[in-house]
Structure 1
Amino acid sequence: MTIFEPTSLVTNATRKAGDQSVPRGRHPRERAGVILVHEDRLAVKVPTGSLGPGEGCYEFPIGEICAGETPEAAVVSRLREATGLEVRVSTHDCVRLVSTGHVDWYFRASAVVPSTAATLSVSRSLAGNRLAFVDLPSIAAATLSPPSLAEVVLHALSTGEWWSNEIRLSDPCEKPPSRIRAGAVVINAKGEVLLIERNSPGRRWYEIPGGGTEPDELPENAAVRELVEETGLSVVIRLELAVVLKEGRREHYFLASCSDPAVEPRELDLREHSKLVWLDVSDLPNLPLWPKRLAWRIAHWHKTEWPKSPVVLSDSVPDADLTKPCDW
């Protein structure tokens, strides 16, 4: 039996297995996963060995549902088999995700004996992975899969605002993006980041310079081109920081450095009521900046170290909430 296999980037469900929206004649594979929190840390699958910022991928534990099992019974059994940990699950506030060929159920769980949850961090290796409790800063600095579930759970873990009914999500990875955008994060020697300030009646917000890709254009090339068009700056791409998924779009963000640090940016191809500003990187978590879930990470990485591979984020934070704190 496969115990807690890796998750895939799955889609948001708007239906149950067996509903008419499931293709006739097909029987999706069902799996059950766990959302287990102990002392403000989340149980995740971690690749064996060290995991630095943006290195590898954390995953929600998930396993097969055997014939005759209910999803909630399956997750209890799989976790017991993998770690020896006994848990109780909540069934009314599960998360259901459906993708092509998959119906995945995730249940909030708690240890029957809370003190035994600590043993999860030293559980035996599972196909090159281990289960461990990881704190919010460590999780948020790397990819947590599936990303749509990660957004919901990390928000709840940060705010304490857990949901009370079943949630149905959709995963933006299921379909080709409606638009691909690329942005460049440029930080000067003073520790200031270049942003575009947008203004409309009663509202001010910030964006990372960038724009849409042209046909057959690589995102990193688009980031360089857009920066020249908007600011006149010529930059060199150092690394890709993140891929942000929102409303059908896929946005790539790159860390870039100016080819000539002495050259100042100019306001060229900007929309009305917009201007370029240099702001301290440490201020990013408190700014109404899109993408909101990337803003605080840039400040965090600038203080610590940049990710070794791009972090994938689902971001459904509405524009009206850009002024609210975000550390998830």
Structure 2
Amino acid sequence: MLRKRAGVILIENNQIALIERKRNGKVYYVIPGGGIETNETPEQAARREAVEELGVEVHLSELYCTLQDREDYYYKASIMQGDFGSGTGDEFTTADHRRGTYKAVWVSLAKLKTLNVYPEELVQSLEINMGETEQLEKNSRKGKLFTMGR
């Protein structure tokens, strides 16, 4: 049985926060997130993973999607405080070369479709909704939370 997971979708300045992974000579990207611990809600897990992987505390605005056939929850989020790229999770602090490297990065939404990003279903959904980003960026600059329509 697959472990339940939760993650965050952070978009600022027409860029999305991702984790760059280098493993076995391959480079790929993942939406920040990870496993839901025992007695933890998906929302709590998403917030914890943002701190561990990105080094930032986030406000979750709403559930963006759950992925079919899995219990994966992805939330729209905005950064409240922290130092992006200063994650302190085990994957960043433990030198296990078999797991490869992890690095928090900002990637242009326009470049998103040219990269190998997981989960693929979520990225495809984001690409469908990218036409809305210009107005959404204006709203986020006005202090409103980033929201992405379905």
Per the normalisation by structure 2, the TM-score is 0.75
Residues 1:263 and 1:275: Cα distance change in structure 2 (over 3 Å): closer
Q: Structure 2 CA distance, aligned partners of 1:215 and 1:290?
A: 24
Amino acid at match of 2:65: A
**SS of 2:68's equivalent?**
strand
Q: Structure 2 CA distance, aligned partners of 1:296 and 1:283?
A: 13
**SS of 1:179's equivalent?**
coil
C-alpha contact (below 8 Å) 1:284/1:296 kept by paired residues: no
The correspondence for 1:250, drawn from 71, 74, 83, is 71
Amino acid at match of 1:307: G
C-alpha contact (below 8 Å) 2:51/2:87 kept by paired residues: no
**SS of 2:67's equivalent?**
strand
C-alpha contact (below 8 Å) 1:228/1:234 kept by paired residues: yes
2:141 maps to: none
Q: Structure 1 CA distance, aligned partners of 2:123 and 2:112?
A: 5
1:187 maps to: 11
C-alpha contact (below 8 Å) 1:195/1:279 kept by paired residues: yes
Written as runs of structure 1 = structure 2, the 5 A alignment for 1:1-328 is 178-188=2-12, 190-245=13-68, 249-260=70-81, 263-269=83-89, 270-271=91-92, 272-304=100-132, 306-307=148-149
C-alpha contact (below 8 Å) 2:60/2:77 kept by paired residues: yes
Amino acid at match of 2:22: N
Q: Deviations over 1:7-47 (max 9, x none)?
A: xxxxxxxxxxxxxxxxxxxxxxxxxxxxxxxxxxxxxxxxx
**SS of 1:296's equivalent?**
helix
Question: How far is 1:264 from its partner?
Answer: 2.9
Q: Structure 2 CA distance, aligned partners of 1:287 and 1:178?
A: 25
Greater than 6 Å deviation, 4+ residue runs: none
Structure 2, unmatched stretches of 5+, are 93-99, 133-146
1:124 maps to: none
Task: Indicate the structure with greater helix content.
Answer: 2
Question: How far is 1:298 from its partner?
Answer: 1.3
Q: How many residues align?
A: 128
Q: Structure 2 CA distance, aligned partners of 1:178 and 1:201?
A: 23
Tell which structure's C-alpha radius of gyration is larger: 1
RMSD (Å), alpha carbons: 2.1
Question: How far is 1:233 from its partner?
Answer: 0.1
1:113 maps to: none
C-alpha contact (below 8 Å) 2:64/2:148 kept by paired residues: yes
Question: How far is 1:268 from its partner?
Answer: 2.2
Amino acid at match of 2:4: I
Amino acid at match of 1:268: T
Question: How far is 1:303 from its partner?
Answer: 2.3
**SS of 1:225's equivalent?**
helix
Q: Deviations over 1:88-109 (max 9, x none)?
A: xxxxxxxxxxxxxxxxxxxxxx
Structure 1, unmatched stretches of 5+, are 1-176, 309-328
Question: How far is 1:227 from its partner?
Answer: 0.9
C-alpha contact (below 8 Å) 1:195/1:278 kept by paired residues: yes
C-alpha contact (below 8 Å) 1:182/1:211 kept by paired residues: yes
Amino acid at match of 1:226: E
Question: How far is 1:194 from its partner?
Answer: 0.8
Question: How far is 1:204 from its partner?
Answer: 1.1
Question: How far is 1:239 from its partner?
Answer: 1.3
Q: Structure 2 CA distance, aligned partners of 1:250 and 1:307?
A: 21
Question: How far is 1:229 from its partner?
Answer: 1.6
